[in-house]
Amino acid sequence: MAKVGVLRLAKKKQKIPLTYDVFDTDMGWVALVGSDQGIVRASHPESTPETALDHAQPEVNRAVHSPEDYDDARRLVTAYCAGEPVDLSDIPIDTRTATPFFRSAWDACRTIPAGETRSYGWLAEQAGNVRAARGAGQAMARNRIALLVPCHRVVASNGALHGFGGAGLPLKFRLLAMESNR
C-alpha cells in the first residue's frame, strides 16, 4: 500500500516541460519561459540577455531554448516595447501553479486597459474578495509574468505608485507614461 502512495506523490511532482526564449526590444532584453499552456515566467525589459534570463529563474534552468515557440509572443512584446498599441492579453499564460485568488487577481489585472490604472481594492473585488486589497497587492508582488499581467497598472487607492519588484518605480512610471502617450 505504501508504494502506491509514493507513486501517486511522484506523479504529482512531475515537472511541466518548459521552453524559453530571450530577445531584444526597444526597452531592453526580455526572457519568456512557457509550457504547452502558455507563459509561466517573463522578465521585465533588462539591459542584457543574461540579466533577463536571471529574472526568469528558476524555470529557465529546466527549460529548453526554443525560439520558434515564441514567434507570436516575441512579435507582440517587441511591438509593445516599441510603443505600439498592442494587446498583450492575447498571449496565453499558464497559472496552474498559482492559488485561485492569485489567478483571479492576475486575470482581472489583464483586463485593465493600457494607459489606465486601477486600485488594489478594485483588483481584490474583481478577484472575488472585496476585503483582500493586501492580498491583491501580494498577487501583484508575486507576479511572475511581468508585462503580460500588467501589474504596473495597479496603484494605491489615492493614485500613488507603489512597488514594482526589482524593476522599481521608474519602470512602472515609464510603462504607464508610454501607454498613456499612444
The domain ranges of the chain are 17-90, 100-180
Query: If you average pLDDT over residues 78-100, what whole number do you get?
Result: 95
Percent of the chain with pLDDT over 90: 77
Average pLDDT over the chain reads 89
- Give pLDDT, residue 165: 64
**Candidate list 112, 133, 151, 171, residue with the active-site label:** 151
Q: Give the pTM.
A: 0.86
Residue-wise DSSP of 42-109: EPPPBSSHHHHHHTTTTGGGGEEE-GGGGHHHHHHHHHHHTT----GGGS-B--TTS-HHHHHHHHHH
Helix, strand, coil percentages for the chain (3-state, nearest 5): 45, 15, 40
- Give pLDDT, residue 21: 98
Query: Is the pLDDT reported for residue 114 higher than 60?
Result: yes
DSSP, collapsed to helix, strand or coil, labels residue 32 as strand
In the structure, what pLDDT confidence band is assigned to residue 112 with cuts at 50, 70 and 90? very high
Instruction: Give residue-wise pLDDT tens across range 37-49.
Output: 999 999 999 999 9
Architecture of domain 100-180 in this structure? Orthogonal Bundle (1.10)
Query: Is the pLDDT reported for residue 3 higher than 90?
Result: no
Residue 109 annotated as catalytic = no
DSSP, collapsed to helix, strand or coil, labels residue 161 as coil
- Give pLDDT, residue 146: 83
- At the topology level, CATH places domain 17-90 in Double Stranded RNA Binding Domain (3.30.160)
